[in-house]
Chains A and B, each alone.
Chain A
């Protein structure tokens, strides 16, 4: 016990003196949370704000107009109207209605908009596929008019315009993919294999997944709900850098050699490390959660909602901390030089985080990537946090992910001990 305490103390001191390591562990993830959340906020916000009175005129009466209307009606982000004072709204009436303050935002989809997009896209697609002569030029872009009440609060404004912009571009993409697959299915006789289905399905799933909340409608995904847990997990796994670094240093500085001559098991020594780094992971997580709870709201961003299962959070956090620490120990055992440890460690964590949905949530990934993402321990952890923070799940909902993370820890320990035994044999 005394030995373990001494090992813990030593490890903590070494870490505290590793300025770069500390910056990587605590500063970097905080900066990442701020930056990524600010960048992604508008994109997510479209799903978040609600109750803005919107007046809508559809002169298109085709895919684009219908989809926007459906989208506005179903999203719950605004109060949808297409009548002004009991009369069907027209493009001419809208500007006045908005400037009178009857509505905060007015949207007009012009006649033939869908057709214009279609033909634009068709030309582009044909050119891309090399089906047509390249002499055809795309026609002018479609113009959707958005009227905004000048007194509307700025945050409302950006929220509405950006969500609208996002919505429109999504529909454009959809049309593009439809056209694309139509063109392709003309080229490929077997229509069942055309990529159209895969794409549209993945889009549907995106929204379904996002709204799957156990407390219906209460917690809506936004940039904060994704970025805080995602980067906290990323930061926890990034302990690989200082942890593997210090382990390789111990080898090169000869401490490991000396420790082989003392009457203390290597495990005591390893446990000291594991305990310190698990504590670091938990501090990181607590820090990141408080960033989401306290600092992000100060920037006008949504507050982090952590659900209502403290036990669930504790179980998942500790499991994630074990997995991250085990990963660092494994890398530190395998790496031969500090450089090797740093490069191998950080690159692999970057890769695992990208696959695992830290940078871009898995629910907007293509299906193939979503299937691949389940190999990343960061993905298990992130799924667990979604379960708690987005879907309002409890401890039972994260037992599976936690178990996977603990198994991963055991796996890394076994690998480390085997590699270590093999390397020590001189």
Chain B
């Protein structure tokens, strides 16, 4: 772990227009290079909103975001070059095939020619999609779409990868494949920010997690630290239930 965090978030607040409460409420985070950072929380906690601000989709109402040492407000073009985003909702062309989708998005990241072609083949292979690569996406199963959705965000081998619930609605087999490949990408130097409802997966996958509820970070640390730090908790799910339940009562 290097000293200077690759992502530095300070007192980040976001109140949507017309909303009475902020969706993200004073979040402060430091994520270091090569971490797999998990942002965990119940529905509506503010995970997607936080990630969307980090990758420049939403503007923050308040607070500061620094990515790769640069303020995100005036360096969005640089930041876009080094990040990859895998949205929570499938964001692909349904009437195009997987290969056509990836060709297009790859080109939008500046990839081209043989390089692009090879990368697409590699990832379609890794995720068992080669055989259906030329079929229209609308004929794919939910799990297959999710895998293509993931590939579209990692084709260009970004420095920082944002994953918003990449394994939701995916069976155990492909879940394992996805996690394994993400771990490999991380080993080769990719910083990963990840959200999930799946506590067991997060426990094994993440080097550090933060639990967020009502837009506020409740607790932060490595899964091990959190489990041992909360009496009577045997795993991350216990910690999660323990903390978010209590937060509800407050």
Closest CB of chain A to B167's CB: distance in Å?
18
| CB-based contact A262/B104 at 8 Å | no
Residue with the highest number of chain A CB atoms closer than 10 Å, among B16, B89, B91: B91
Beta-carbon contacts under 8 Å, A4-44 to B: 5-7, 9-10, 13-14, 17-18
A258 adjacent to B105 (CB under 8 Å): yes
Asked if residues A2 and B104 are in contact (CB atoms below 8 Å), the reply is: no
Given contacts A263-B110, A425-B59, contact A258 B93 (CB under 8 A): no
A258→B85 contact, CB < 8 A = yes
Q: Is A257 an interface residue (CB 8 A)?
A: yes
Residues of B within 8 A of A17 (CB): 95-96, 136
A2 CA to B107 CA, complexed, in Å: 7
Closest to A3 in B: B107
Nearest CB of A to B221, in Å = 29
A425 contacts across to B, CB distance below 8 A: 59
Contact with A along B151-166 (1 / 0, CB 8 A): 0100000000000000
Closest B residue, CB atoms, query A425? B59
Chain A interface: which of B35-43, B75-83, B125-133, B226-234?
B75-83
Q: Count of B residues near A, CB < 8 Å?
A: 32
Please measure, in the bound complex, the distance between the C-alpha atom of A260 and the C-alpha atom of B57, giving whole angstroms: 7
Is A74 located at the chain interface by the 8 A CB criterion? no
Closest to B107 in A: A6
- A254 partner residues in chain B, CB cutoff 8 A: 87, 89-92
Does residue A261 face the partner (Cβ distance < 8 Å to B)?
A: yes
Distance in angstroms from B97 CB to nearest chain A CB is 9
B92 and A255 contact, CB distance less than 8 A: yes
B80 and A257 form a contact (CB under 8 A): no
Min distance, Cβ B141 to any Cβ of chain A, angstroms: 17
Residue from the list B56, B59, B93 in contact with A14, Cβ < 8 A = B93
Report Cα–Cα, A253/B92, bound state, in Å. Answer: 7
Q: Determine which of B16, B55, B110 lies in contact with A426 in the assembled complex, contact meaning CB atoms within 8 Å.
A: B16
Residues of A with C-beta under 8 A to B87 = 254, 257-258
Query: Which of B55, B107, B110, B112 has a CB less than 8 Å from the CB of A261?
Result: B55
Q: Across the interface, do A7 and B104 meet the contact criterion of CB distance under 8 Å?
A: yes
A249 to B55 alpha-carbon distance, docked (Å): 23
Please determine whether A262 and B108 come into contact, CB atoms closer than 8 angstroms: yes
Alpha-carbon gap, A3 to B116, bound state (A): 12
Which residues 46-92 in B have Cβ within 8 Å of A in the complex?
52, 55-59, 77, 80-81, 83, 85, 87, 89-92
Interface flag for A264 (CB, 8 Å): yes
Q: How far is the CA of A262 from the CA of B136 in the complex (A)?
A: 23
Q: Of residues 90 to 121 in B, which have CB atoms within 8 Å of A's CB atoms?
A: 90-96, 100, 103-105, 107-110, 112
- Which of chain B's residues 175-194 have a Cβ closer than 8 Å to chain A? none
Tell me the smallest distance from the CB of B104 to a CB of chain A, in Å: 4
Which chain B positions have C-beta within 8 A of A3?
107-108, 110
Interface string of A252-286 (1 = CB under 8 A from B): 01110111111110000100000000000000000
C-alpha spacing A259/B105, complex, angstroms = 8
Interface residues of A in 88-102 (CB under 8 A from B): none
- Would you give the shortest CB distance from A138 to chain B, in whole angstroms? 62
Contact of A257 among B57, B59, B96, B109 (CB under 8 A): B57
The answer to whether A263 and B93 have CB atoms under 8 Å apart is: no
Can you list 25 pairs linking A and B with CB atoms under 8 Å apart? A2-B110, A3-B108, A6-B103, A6-B104, A6-B107, A7-B104, A7-B108, A10-B104, A13-B95, A13-B96, A13-B100, A14-B93, A14-B96, A17-B96, A250-B93, A253-B90, A254-B87, A254-B89, A254-B91, A254-B92, A258-B152, A261-B80, A263-B108, A425-B59, A426-B57
The 4 closest A-B pairs by CB, nearest first: A254-B91, A6-B107, A258-B91, A263-B80
